[in-house]
Structure 1
Amino acid sequence: MGMLSHRHTAMSMAMLLLLLVVRLSVAAADLDSQRAALLALRSSVGGRTRFWNATNQTPCNWAGVQCDQDHVVELHLPGVALSGQLPNGIFGNLTHLRTLSLRFNALTGSLPSDLASCVNLRNLYLQRNLLSGEIPQFLFSLPDLVRLNMGYNNFSGPISTSFNNFTRLKTLFLENNKLSGSIPELNRLSLDQFNVSNNLLNGSVPVKLQTFSQDSFLGNSLCGRPFSLCSGTDSPSSSPFPIPDGNGTKNNNNHNNKLSGGAIAGIVIGSVVFLLLVVFLLIFLCRNKSSKKTSAVNVATVKHPESEVPHEKSISDMENGNGYSSAAAAAAAAAVAVNKVEANGNGNGGVGGVKKLVFFGNAARAFDLEDLLRASAEVLGKGTFGTAYKAVLESGPVVAVKRLKDVTITEKEFREKIEAVGAIDHQSLVPLRAYYFSRDEKLLVYDYMSMGSLSALLHGNKGAGRTPLNWEMRSGIALGAARGIDYLHSQGPNVSHGNIKSSNILLTKSYEARVSDFGLAQLVGPSSTPNRVAGYRAPEVTDPRRVSQKADVYSFGVLLLELLTGKAPTHALLNEEGVDLPRWVQSVVREEWTSEVFDLELLRYQNVEEEMVQLLQLAVDCAAPYPDKRPSMSDVVRNIEELRHSSLKEDQDQIQHDNNDLEL
């Protein structure tokens, strides 16, 4: 019996060993097939998948690839310059995929049919490519999909009723395509996020989808909630302008709805006469005003010293230097500002008698208050501390004038604080040239920066003719801004900026950064400050008028993230309202490949990816939740200088390498 038992045990162990060997060999073969599939993908669509080390036997260590028990379960390749069409024969070997992210690339054509083999797929991100054709039917054989994003492509055709197959689907984004027809009833779905805006859809919004906002349906020809009711569904009494007929009943006859020709002619003639009367009246008033004034501002508006500033809405709610849509509103606002100054400056208004511009330093006085009052004025923007104007002086210089609001301190305190600001001089700061103080008006005169603000450049017009911000420009802007803030901090342990944001980083014609609005937080009352740095303010700051240097570092970290991602810090990122920029970047870096966070304009510069990642890490360090974890601004400057030096050296080495190739 002992012999038999021993022999039985030996045979069992041999069988287990054999099974283990077979399983390992099968797993190795399976991993080899997945590795081959990924390499085939690399050769088909290129991009930065070339960084994959083909000599490495396991693809699980490749960037963007995640494995579970020797199976590729996640493939994240967002924003890595993939181009061309996805071939068949790849996804059939990646059947364990649970997440596939190919967003922000340049993929074209239709989806490969073997994608249907990925039956475990839960998250499919295809947005912002150039994919086309109808949404393929085989896609609906993936029953476990939870998130599907196919927005910003060229998909066409109808939205299939087969979407009801996705009973677990929570997110469906199909916006900015060429989908046509009506939206089908999706009664089997329980969606949390839905968007079909900017397509060619028509008809009524299905009842189950009417809980979503208008933003989910804009850019189509749709009716029904959340829009107006569809024709034919209104009750007879719901007509906005019912016309009773002779029997007292409502008659919608088209003939009765039209005005006669005589009535139309009467309206036109009356309108013309009224317009002429208004024009003559304005001319009379203007001549009457000009005869009473010896000096005036050259703006296209009637000036009245007692006029109030136009309503904020007619000016702007933007805090960058984009300019204004209404030239008349801009001129009116400028006229009001300078006329109040003129009224106070020609008499004994305010403290100290006759008022005048006070200049800083020993620079030549190229203009005086009268020159400033005669300058043509243009509103640049409404900022935290007041409205800024561009003033073109008759003698030639162009300056920026900031009209402060909510100044609550005395004239003596104002002069002491503003003279300390005027004494600060650094090439990375916008210099304060002069100031004016009266009881009703406080003006600051700065050098005019013709390229506007970083905020306008990042988030403004991105159409044809716009100069893209490349890596060299962005890293240079980051360095210039850092140097300016570091210089402020060097003036003393209690000296800080307090209002660091992209609209306060102004640019020269050569895209050099100049930090503005420093030292102004001490001048205004608390009503101006609570929301002035939304998205930039450090979590420990409770009083925006008292900001530490470490809080400045946090704001600068957010500014760096804005430079790298192209996203405003107050944007509702990834459709998750309330998520701030630092947390979003950290979550993407943790869950996705790091290049997902970078602005598309930066992704074309592949030779500086390492420097971009280094600057991203520096930004995350600056925006650390705890002040003690943040670097000093001098450390920030040194780090940016080092990575820019590294980037420049690599560029020079690449140029030398290319020249050697040409010689060969």
Structure 2
Amino acid sequence: MLFQRLRFYAFLCFNFTLCVSLTPDGLSLLSLKSAVDGGAASSFAFSDWNEEDATPCQWTGISCMNVTKSEDPRVVGISVSAKNLRGYIPSELGNLLYLRRLNLHGNNFYGSIPEQLFNASSLHSIFLYGNNLSGSLPPSLCTLPRVQNIDLSNNSLTGPLPKFLQNCKQLQRLILAGNKFSGEISEGIFPALANLEQLDISSNGFNSSIPNDIGELKSLSGTLNLSLNQFTGRIPKTLGDLPLTVSFDLRNNNLSGEIPQTGSLANQGPTAFLNNPLLCGFPLQRSCKNDLDNNTDDGAQSSLGGNEGQRGLKPGLIILISVANALGVAFIGLVIVYFYWRRKDSHGHGCSCTGKGKLGGNGNEKISLCSLPCFNGFPSNDSEVESEKDGGGGSGSGGGGEGDLVAIDKGFSIELDELLRASAYVLGKSGLGIVYKVVLGNGVPVAVRRLGEGGEQRYKEFVAEVQAIGRVKHPNVVKLRAYYWALDEKLLISDFISNGSLAFALRGKAGQPLSTLSWSTRLKIAKGTAKGLAYLHECSPRKFVHGDIKPSNILLDSEYQPYISDFGLNRLITITGNNPSSSGGFIGGAFPYLKPVQLEKVNNYRAPEARFPNNRPTQKWDVYSFGLVLLELLTGKSTELSPPTSSTSTEILDLVRWVRKGFNEEIPMSDMVDPILLLEIHAKKEVLSVFHIALSCTEGDPEVRPRMKTVSDNLEKVGT
């Protein structure tokens, strides 16, 4: 390294022209060119770094700015990243007093980070990740008064987490993942970092307990990543004091004890705590009482083997058990007799509806649902009432072909004959069933989906699933109102959403562009959809995974309020034994009246990991799909225009790659956004914010993606 620096100074002294023409900032920058080993990579990266130039401001990767009126432009940014350069970081870069952003990531720089680098007192962003830097963090790092972003991840840095980091008062992002840091983390560092928004110290060798005062990071957002270390002891309850939008990643440590159910800790899923063998409690499927119960059982058995075992059960207990058994047998007998007579009473009832028509015609066809196949018999009004009272148990459990129409919503009243006699319009057909718009006698339209036949052995499972869906109540989720079950027919009745889907609003018919939505409308749709999806993930009875978020499953009313549809539908299809395709359905809504539906042949909104067979859906799949919907709202481009090469392709969709490339290459925003949005000048900052949210949702690693609640909260801040 010393030899290379002497070579650099000798080079300066022998080149008189350079000494008199190039600015001092240019001379300091040439130290970087000299510190890099020669080769094709170096020649390419520094091809226009010419010593004869008067200023370095036109060199590739260099940004300049007039910092004062009396001086020439000064260097404020260095971005020489991902060039496969090998060398060391020269201390002369510290002479760039106005340098604000240093970006050398994705190269092969080695050696330590020089202390003198931080003489560049204007530095606020340092991106040196993805190199081979070694040694410890220089103490002078936090003498920088404005440093906000430090990303030194994926290097070979060593030592403990230094206590001097508490002097980085303005720090917002500290990313040290993938290094060789170890030892304890001192108390007192984190309370001083009041502005810290992101902390990632994963994949190191920290082997102490998690500091209690980490819960004082009140500005933290996104993911607190402490995974892949050797943290020991209990999880501090103070972590629950972090903002509710924070996600935790504590995987692959040596943590032990019960997971505290306080604050933000109570909102975490099981993924946050995996591979800590000694952790127990919710949300892990590992009870903290197991060991205690085992000890108690052993003690009880020992006692029983001594005194109680010799004496046997008390006479009173024996009598009580006998009475309970007799009552249980009598109850089962009554249930059997009840169902026998009920089936006998309903036997022989013919199909109570009449009418003509052919099922499932084209989109212009007006039919009657009485043209459905005639059932073996409908329940009487009395039995319908009974089935409603007992929670939809009914008698369609697979024995006699009898059907029940059960209203899930108490405020919804409908008779089976009324439903079957009503005029119906075919709205759409797919592997998820045929959907009709049905206008009831009171003039209220509903959407009716036919799920087909099958599933007679899984009646109870079907009812439990439908009722769980019916309990979901949110202004941005389609409401399921009732269902019908019979051996040869299953129907779902839900609200009809009048203004079609987001897919139609964006693309029109036959794939022709129809991007006339204003920015305020698009933002309204994005916010409402995010709220509904966050509700399904966090607050619904089952904490649903939708698994099929895309524009055709986001329905719009006349005010462009969005409604999420089709959640839980794939599960119901599985129960009934139908064979769903990758195309979506329209439970609760459709395209404008009497128009045939053009369904997607390939679902290009799935996350990369979702394209592997047999992978179970996760909430992070939904986050990725929602991110693609956001990108479509922003760019006006459809993922359907560039399908992946195969249904199991792991490539990131072209739309995601295209947007990321645009940001990396600093393509003008006007070249990426939907031209319609360019007319709304005031929305530029809001559009940029939503772009960043969309890109965080479409990260390739599902663990890096935020929770939907975080996404929703961040969208709510846009435009306020």
Q: Which bracket does the TM-score occupy, shorter chain normalised?
A: 0.3 to 0.5
Task: Give me the TM-score of the superposition, normalised by structure 2.
Answer: 0.44
Task: Give me the TM-score of the superposition, normalised by structure 1.
Answer: 0.47
